[in-house]
């Protein structure tokens, strides 16, 4: 997957892309990440990227020209590389559709993603109307820039790409993938400060472990995020268990 990110602060991406699964995915050519400084696409002497809002009010707004030019240049490069058509151009904004594991899965199917990070009061509305194809929010709060939001989106997407997590780790039974929160996890020691790991996990009985985990996932989801249970993919027996737990 090729990922192109437009920002006013390219250096913010050095650290996350330099470690862990990102670094491994880049080193193994599973992803190619390019960061573009929006300022490089200005033409005036002062490299102006923002301006006062029409109609007045506090703060500054990112100008449309450098963003359009940068995206169009990136697009022309991508189109000369391949012809599979759809190219998501995503603006990170608190006004976008709420990001979720489902959207991460949806984005992981594309071969290219372009992400635009806003700053200040945001971007000129013409960018939203005539350039971007998608607007994503990472939650109902306001950040000072889209960079952290872009990292969140890219992180959630990249770990879903084939080969990125490696064979020892898998994402299929994680929270939000099955519609349930994940069961509790334990590692050694079996007893720490007199707190023991549940016996069933030490039993070596895989069927019992799987059953316990599934029940714990249901219980935990019920306690913490009951609204998720209604949409979760449960068999009849599990649905009955959930109903019993809900009533008790
Ligand atoms: N004035 C805007 C907020 C601007 S915040 C408004 O009220 O809608 C500055 C930039 O931070 C935005 O352009 C966006 O790129 C980013 N940002 C802030 N909160 C975000 C969120 N919850 N999700 C994604 N991006 C966000």
Give residue-wise pLDDT tens across range 170-214.
Answer: 677 788 888 999 999 999 999 999 999 999 999 999 999 999 999
Q: Residues near 45 by Cβ (< 8 Å), separated by ≥ 6?
A: none
Give residue-wise pLDDT tens across range 21-30.
Answer: 999 999 999 9
Q: Is the pLDDT of residue 159 over 90?
A: yes
Cβ of 7 closer than 6 Å to ligand 1, yes or no, is: no
Give residue-wise pLDDT tens across range 3-51.
Answer: 999 999 999 999 999 999 999 999 999 999 999 999 999 999 999 999 9
Cβ of 179 closer than 6 Å to ligand 1, yes or no, is: no
Quote the pLDDT of residue 80.
64
> How many angstroms separate the alpha carbon of residue 155 from the centre of ligand 1?
19
Cβ of 132 closer than 6 Å to ligand 1, yes or no, is: no
pTM for this model (two decimals): 0.94
> How many angstroms separate the alpha carbon of residue 65 from the centre of ligand 1?
19
Please classify residue 44 by burial: count the beta carbons closer than 10 Å to its beta carbon, then call 0-12 exposed, 13-18 middle and 19+ buried: exposed
> How many angstroms separate the alpha carbon of residue 197 from the centre of ligand 1?
43
Q: Is the pLDDT of residue 82 over 60?
A: no
Cβ of 95 closer than 6 Å to ligand 1, yes or no, is: yes
């Amino acid at each position: 997957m090729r990922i192109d990110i437009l920002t006013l602060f390219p250096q913010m991406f050095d650290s996350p892309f330099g470690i862990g699964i990102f670094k491994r995915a880049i080193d193994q050519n599973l992803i190619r990440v390019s960061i573009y400084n929006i300022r490089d696409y200005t033409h005036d002497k002062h490299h102006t990227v923002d301006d006062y809002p029409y109609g007045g009010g506090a703060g500054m707004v990112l100008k449309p020209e450098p963003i359009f030019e940068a995206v169009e240049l990136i697009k022309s490069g991508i189109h000369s590389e391949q012809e599979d058509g759809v190219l998501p151009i995503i603006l990170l904004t608190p006004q976008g559709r709420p990001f979720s594991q489902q959207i991460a899965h949806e984005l992981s199917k594309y071969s290219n993603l372009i992400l635009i990070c806003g700053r200040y009061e945001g971007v000129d509305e013409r960018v939203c109307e005539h350039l971007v194809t998608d607007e994503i929010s990472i939650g109902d709060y306001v950040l000072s820039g889209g960079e952290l939001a872009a990292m969140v989106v890219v992180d959630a997407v990249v770990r879903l790409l084939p080969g990125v997590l490696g064979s020892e780790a898998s994402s299929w039974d994680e929270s939000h993938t099955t519609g349930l929160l994940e069961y509790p996890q334990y590692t050694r020691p079996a007893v720490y400060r007199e707190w023991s790991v549940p016996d069933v996990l030490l039993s070596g009985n895989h069927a019992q472990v799987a059953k316990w985990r599934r029940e714990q996932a249901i219980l935990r989801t019920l306690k913490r995020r009951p609204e998720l249970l209604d949409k979760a993919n449960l068999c009849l027996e599990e649905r009955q268990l959930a109903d019993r737990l809900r009533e008790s």
